[in-house]
Chain A
Amino acid sequence: MRRKEFLQKAGLGVAGGAALPYILPSGSLFARGGVPKAEHVVLVMFAGGVRQQESILQRYLEDSQGVSGAAGNVMFNLFDGPAPTKKIVYGTDPAGGGTAGSVPIPQLLGSSLESQGTVFREVAAQSAGHYTGQTVLVTGNRSAAQGLKVRPNYPTIFEYLRRHAGFSATDCWMISSSLTNSYNLLNSSDHPDYGLQYGANMFVPGVVFGSYGREVLGNSKTYSQEELGPMYFMKNFLDKSFGLGQDEINTITNTDEDKTRIKEFIKYIYAKQSSGQIASPPVGSGDAFNISYGAEVLKYFKPKILTVNLTGVDTCHSNFTGYLKNLHRADHATGWLWNYIQTQIPEMAGNTIMLVAPECGRNLNPNPILDQNDWYAFDHSDRNAQRVWSLMVGKNVPQGMSVGNEANPVGRLTDIVPTIADIFGVWDDVKNAGLVDPMGKSLFERI
C-alpha cells in the first residue's frame, strides 16, 4: 500500500471510529461527541412548602402577620435584597443572652445565586402537597394520581438519564431527608418501560449515617478482592440458576465494583464521623445535615446527577417563627453546597449546573395556631400554595437574568426534568417517551 493510500484509509478509519455510534441501554444509538451544557447537575428540592411572600417576594412579617415596615430578605444566598430591620427572629441566638434568633447568619456567597444565574420569579406548582410536589420535580409529570407509600407512576429523571444517556447507577444519586412521606421511593418509578433497573442510588443520611446505621452496619468487614471474587462468583451462579425476570427486580442494581465502592464510602463516612471530619454548613440544621452528606457523595462519586431534598420549613404548619428560621437555614445550606462544589470538588467546579426549586408553596391565609411570638401558622392547600419560584446557576446559565413576575408567571415545576434532560442532551428522547407533562419545557427554552 502506498503511503498516500495508507494515510487516506487510516484517516477514514479514525473519522469513522470517532463518529461511530454505540448502543445505549435503551437499545438506541447515540452519536458520540454530543456536547452537554454541563457535566454535572445538582437539584436542590427546596422543599417543605415555601410561601412566595416570605421567600422571593421578601415581605417577611408584613403580609403574613400584618407587621408594618417588617419586609425584607431572609434568603441572602439565593436572592438579592436588603434584610429586614424589625423583629429579627430567624437568625442564631446571641451569645450571652438576648432575643432568640436575633443574629442573622452572615451571607456565605460573595454574590447571590440570583445574580450568578437565572431566576424564574413566578412559577406554577402542579401540586400543593409535599410528596406529589417532589414527585413532579423528579418525574416532570403532573403526577395527579400519585399515591403515598408507592414509587412514582412515571419515570424519574434518573431513569431517563440511565436509559437514554447511558449513565451508571453511581452516576445518579438521591439524598432523601427521611423515610416519611415515601421520599425514599423517589429514586425510581414503577413504570414498566423504565423502573428499578434504571433507578438511582439513594441514602437516607439520618438513618444510614445515624446511630441506627452505625449500630447495624458499622462493624461490617472490609473484604479483600480475593474474598469478594468467589462470593460474587457463587452469588452470580445462584442468581442465574434462579432466573429472576426484569419485572421481578426489587432493588436498583450496581455492578459488583460499584457495590464495593458504595460499601467503602459508607465505612469512609463512619471513619470521618469518628474524627469529626464531615464537611457541613457552619450553622447546623436538619436540612444542613442532609446537604452535608449530599456534599460528601458529590465529592466521593462525582455523580452526573444528585438530588437532595430539604424539609425543615414545614414547621410552618404550627410554628411561623421556626419556619422563618428554617427558611434562613435552608438558604444558608444551599449557598454552602454551591460554594463547596466550586471550592472543594475541582472535577465539578465550573462544570456543574445547580437547580433550586420548592415543591409547593403555602396558603395565603393562616390557620389559627399561634407560636411563641403570637404569629400565625400556615398550611398548604390553596391556590397560593401553587405559587413557587425556581432558580438555576452554573455553566452555560445566563447570569443575572430574571424571568417572569407576579403579573406574568413563566414556567412550571414540570420544567425541571426537561431542563436536566436538556443539559445532558437527551431532552428529545425524554419528550418522545411521551411521559412528561406536555406543557413542560426546558428552562433554557423559556429564557
Chain B
Amino acid sequence: MSMHNLNKILILGFMALSLGCKKEKVAEFGVAEQLIQDERTSKIKNKSEAEYISILYTNLYQKPISPNQLFKTQTVLVSIGDRSVANEMLLSNYFNTGQVIIPSDADMRNDIDAFVENSYKKFFLRYPNEAEKLFFKNYIGGNAKVSVEMVFTAMSVCNEYQYY
C-alpha cells in the first residue's frame, strides 16, 4: 500500500469517527426517585414469645419488661393453643392498666398521615406504602369510633408484627 492511499484511509477513518460521535441527551420526566423495596421479604424470622412480649411491652410502656414478668407472660402465652387469642388478651390487659404511653385519639385525628406513619415505624420498623396509607387514612377518617387502642391492637396482633 502506497503512502498516499494510507493517508486517504486515515483521513476517512477520522471523519467517520467524528461524525459517529454525538453528545448524549439527558431525558428527564419529572418523576422523583423512589427506593423500591419489598418489606415483606426482609422479615423472614418468627419472633419467639420472649421477643414478642419484650418488644410489645417496650413499645407500649416505653420501658423494658422485668425478667420475672417476662417469664410469667411467656409461660402463659405458650399455654394457650391459639397464640392470637393469648396475644389479644395480653394486649387488652396492658391497655386496661391505664399505664401504656400512647397518643390520644384527638392527636390521631388531627394528623392521621403522621399517626399512620409513626405507627408503622413503631410497630413494623418501616414506612407504610401508599396503599397502606390510603387504607388507614380512609378507615380512621371515615369511622369516628376507631380509637388509637384499636389501631395499636390490630398492629400488635397482626402477622407482620410476629416477624422480624
Can you identify 23 A-B contacts, CB atoms within 8 angstroms?
Answer: A179-B78, A200-B81, A201-B81, A204-B78, A213-B76, A216-B76, A216-B90, A217-B93, A219-B96, A219-B97, A221-B95, A232-B154, A234-B146, A234-B155, A238-B154, A238-B159, A239-B158, A250-B162, A251-B83, A252-B81, A259-B82, A259-B85, A262-B85
Nearest A residue to B156 via CB reads: A235
Closest 3 CB pairs of A and B: A202-B81, A234-B154, A251-B83
Q: Are B81 and A259 in contact (CB under 8 A)?
A: no
Q: Which residues of B contact A252 (CB under 8 A)?
A: 81-82
Answer whether residue A244 sits at the interface, using C-beta atoms and an 8 A cutoff. yes
Complex CA gap A199/B82 in Å reads: 9
Nearest A residue to B71 via CB reads: A212
Which residue in A202, A204, A238, A262 is a CB contact (below 8 Å) of B160? A238
Count A-side interface residues using an 8 Å CB cutoff. Answer: 49
Complex CA gap A223/B91 in Å reads: 12
Q: Which residues of A contact B76 (CB under 8 A)?
A: 207-208, 212-213, 216-217
* Contact A230 B150, CB 8 Å, known A201-B82, A243-B40, A259-B82: yes
* Contact A250 B95, CB 8 Å, known A238-B154, A266-B89: no
* Contact A184 B78, CB 8 Å, known A220-B93, A223-B92: yes
Interface size class of B (residues with CB under 8 A): 35 or more
Complex CA gap A174/B146 in Å reads: 36
Q: Are A213 and B79 in contact (CB under 8 A)?
A: yes
Which residue in B46, B75, B80, B158 is a CB contact (below 8 Å) of A202? B80
* Contact A219 B158, CB 8 Å, known A234-B151, A254-B85, A263-B85: no
- Report A208 CB to chain B, min CB distance, Å: 5
Q: Are B81 and A230 in contact (CB under 8 A)?
A: no
* Contact A263 B88, CB 8 Å, known A202-B80, A202-B81, A221-B96: yes
Q: Which residues of A contact B150 (CB under 8 A)?
A: 227, 230-231, 234
Answer whether residue A347 sits at the interface, using C-beta atoms and an 8 A cutoff. no
Complex CA gap A244/B84 in Å reads: 15
Q: Are B96 and A220 in contact (CB under 8 A)?
A: yes
Q: Which residues of A contact B40 (CB under 8 A)?
A: 242-243
Contact with B along A209-231 (1 / 0, CB 8 A): 00011011111110100110011
Complex CA gap A243/B163 in Å reads: 12
Query: Most chain-B Cβ atoms within 10 A of its Cβ — which of A169, A204, A238, A241?
Result: A238
B interface vs A, CB < 8 Å?
Answer: 40, 46, 72-73, 75-76, 78-86, 88-90, 92-93, 95-97, 131-132, 135-136, 139, 143, 145-146, 150-151, 153-155, 157-160, 162-163
Q: Are A235 and B158 in contact (CB under 8 A)?
A: yes
Q: Are B97 and A208 in contact (CB under 8 A)?
A: no
Q: Which residues of B contact A231 (CB under 8 A)?
A: 150, 153-154
Q: Which residues of B contact A230 (CB under 8 A)?
A: 139, 143, 145-146, 150, 154
Query: Most chain-A Cβ atoms within 10 A of its Cβ — which of B75, B89, B139, B150?
Result: B89
Q: Are A203 and B80 in contact (CB under 8 A)?
A: yes
Answer whether residue A187 sits at the interface, using C-beta atoms and an 8 A cutoff. yes
Q: A232-B154, A259-B88, A262-B85 are in contact. List 18 more A-B contacts (CB 8 A).
A: A174-B81, A184-B78, A201-B82, A204-B78, A204-B80, A207-B76, A219-B96, A221-B96, A231-B150, A233-B154, A237-B135, A242-B158, A242-B159, A243-B40, A250-B83, A251-B84, A252-B82, A254-B85
Complex CA gap A232/B97 in Å reads: 22
Complex CA gap A314/B119 in Å reads: 51
Nearest A residue to B91 via CB reads: A220
Complex CA gap A216/B77 in Å reads: 9
